[in-house]
């Protein structure tokens, strides 16, 4: 599992590079992993899968791994050199979570890496810690669940304690634990299907013929769950826009907004454009979706998706949602405001969020959301709909923001509101439908 091309590529060493890029240099994990896999494209499939699994798993379980290392090491992880911390974290992940790796291999490779990285003097230390953990894996103590429930859940599910405390305070202990557990479950890819161009039966048969596992989404008629494929961009139906990756909750939000054939829809923070694409397919050729975002880069992503999905009733535009656009005043039957948020509902697919979020950022984002809502509500026609949504689980950004908005905008009334939780088979996601009287 370790070498290729003259034995000069050590996969575990590449994983240490990825871990350092994320934990020391502040790189996003998906970018760090992608950069390494792009550079070593020639590696065999199982080596690439090993690199992905070990780096993602180590980052996902890092709080638990640190707690384990700290039980068996006199030097705590915080005091270690970043390289040694990365070697030990990835080593302990292999011991605890990768049955395919013998304990002896995990220990020996950690020692070899320590030497390879120029820390020969610490090879005895690394060897001692790794072998001690390997011998005592079933003796590891978690914090006491009754005496320190927040600390226990934090270590068990590798989520910072302040987020655990927040979830318990706002949603109760049961919803908190079920959500944390769901974040760690592997989930299939959720896709919407362009049923105007292909039937659900045809696309299911075609995907299954390619060896892909396909199941119908029970909540949404035109959506499927896929698993067991190598890369999305190697699936022809994805490349030609018959499939679009989108979480169930995101599709449910558009369905809550219920755009009708012929409607004008403005999506104000749209990139990469999933909700716009879904709305465009609901409103037909007589309607129009204008999909906006802040930068040329984001709008280029939307335009790529318009082209790939072959949508003639959707256009993209660079626009700052905090700036009022007089040309759009009272022009939209539906305004979709899926606004920048803390993202605590998508920790399961975006591990970095749990390490980078903070209470300050939550408050800043809630204020930004309020500022944008004050502007974009003016684009809704009388008798039109304002859909507000986020992919987070904080009351400040969700229910409280809706109530604050309605207090100052009596021309709107709340029709529906829903907080989705990760254990419901979708992202943690909030949606509220408001009607302009």
Distance from C-alpha of 239 to C-alpha of 232, rounded to nearest angstrom = 8
Q: Which residues neighbour 270 within 8 Å (Cβ) at sequence distance 6 or greater?
A: 276, 291, 292, 293, 302, 316, 336, 338
Any known ligand binding at 258?
Answer: no
Strand partners, 334: 265, 385
Residue 391 known to be catalytic: yes
Q: Which of 107, 309, 391, 426 is catalytic?
A: 391
Any known ligand binding at 176?
Answer: no
Sheet holding 380-390, edge to edge: 314-318, 288-293, 264-267, 332-338, 380-390, 429-436, 412-420
Distance from C-alpha of 56 to C-alpha of 32, rounded to nearest angstrom = 10
Residue listed under structure tokens 């949603």: 171
**Across the chain, how many H-helices and E-strands are there?**
18, 11
Reported as type and span, the H/E element at residue 347 is none
Distance from C-alpha of 188 to C-alpha of 190, rounded to nearest angstrom = 6
- 3-state SS record for 371-432: HHHHHHHHHEEEEEEEEEEECCCCCCCCHHHHHHHHHHCCCEEEEEEEEECHHHCCCCEEEE
Please, what is the end-to-end C-alpha distance for the chain in angstroms?
A: 64
The angle that helices 11-23 and 82-97 make with each other, rounded to 10 degrees, is: 120
Sheet holding 223-227, edge to edge: 213-216, 223-227, 189-193, 243-245
CA distances from 382 to 263, 334, 433 (A): 13, 10, 14
Residue 101's nearest CA partner among 2, 242, 26 is 2
Residue 254's nearest CA partner among 232, 222, 225, 276 is 276
Residue 220 is encoded by which pair of tokens? 């949404």
CB atoms within 10 A of CB 345: 29
Distance from C-alpha of 380 to C-alpha of 370, rounded to nearest angstrom = 16
Residue 311 is encoded by which pair of tokens? 């949508």
Any known ligand binding at 272?
Answer: yes
**Binding site per annotation, positions for S-adenosyl-L-methionine:** 269-275, 293, 320, 338
Residues assigned a catalytic role: 391
């Amino acid at each position: 599992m370790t070498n290729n091309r003259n034995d000069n590529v050590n996969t575990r060493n590449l994983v240490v590079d990825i871990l350092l890029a994320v934990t020391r240099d502040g790189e996003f994990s998906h970018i760090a992993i992608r950069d390494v896999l792009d550079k070593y494209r020639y590696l065999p499939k199982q080596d690439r899968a090993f690199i992905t699994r070990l780096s993602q798993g180590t980052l996902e379980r890092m709080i638990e791994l640190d707690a384990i290392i700290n039980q068996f090491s006199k030097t705590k992880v915080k005091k270690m050199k970043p390289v040694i911390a990365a070697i030990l974290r990835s080593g302990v992940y292999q011991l605890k979570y990768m049955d395919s790796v013998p304990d002896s291999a995990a220990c020996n490779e950690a020692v070899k890496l320590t030497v390879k990285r120029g820390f020969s003097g610490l090879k005895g230390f690394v060897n001692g810690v790794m072998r001690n953990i390997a011998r005592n894996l079933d003796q590891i103590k978690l914090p006491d669940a009754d005496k320190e429930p927040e600390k226990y859940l934090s270590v068990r599910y590798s989520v910072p304690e302040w987020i655990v405390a927040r979830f318990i305070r706002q949603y109760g202990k049961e919803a908190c634990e079920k959500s944390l557990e769901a974040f760690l479950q592997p989930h299939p890819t959720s896709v919407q299907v362009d049923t105007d161009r292909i039937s659900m039966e045809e696309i299911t048969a075609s995907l299954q013929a390619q060896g892909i596992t396909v199941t119908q989404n029970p909540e949404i008629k035109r959506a499927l769950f896929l698993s067991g494929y190598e890369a999305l961009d190697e699936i022809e139906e994805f490349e030609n826009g018959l499939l679009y990756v989108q979480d169930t909750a995101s599709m449910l939000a558009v369905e809550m907004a219920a755009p009708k054939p012929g409607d004008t829809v403005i999506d104000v923070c749209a990139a990469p454009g999933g909700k716009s694409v879904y709305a465009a397919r609901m409103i037909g050729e007589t309607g129009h979706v204008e999909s906006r975002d802040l930068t040329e880069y984001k709008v280029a992503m939307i335009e790529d998706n318009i082209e790939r999905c072959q949508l003639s009733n959707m256009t993209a535009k660079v626009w700052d949602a905090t700036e009022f656009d007089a040309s759009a005043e009272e022009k939209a039957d539906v305004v979709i405001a899926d606004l920048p948020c803390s993202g605590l509902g998508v920790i399961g697919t975006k591990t970095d969020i749990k390490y980078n979020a903070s209470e300050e950022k939550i408050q800043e984002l809630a204020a930004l959301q309020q500022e944008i809502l004050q502007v974009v509500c003016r684009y809704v026609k009388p008798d039109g709909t304002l859909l507000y949504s986020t992919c987070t689980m904080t009351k400040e950004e969700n229910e409280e923001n809706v109530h604050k908005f309605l207090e100052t905008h009596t021309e709107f009334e709340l029709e529906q509101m829903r907080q989705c939780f990760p254990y419901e088979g979708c992202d943690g996601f909030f949606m509220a439908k408001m009607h302009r009287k």
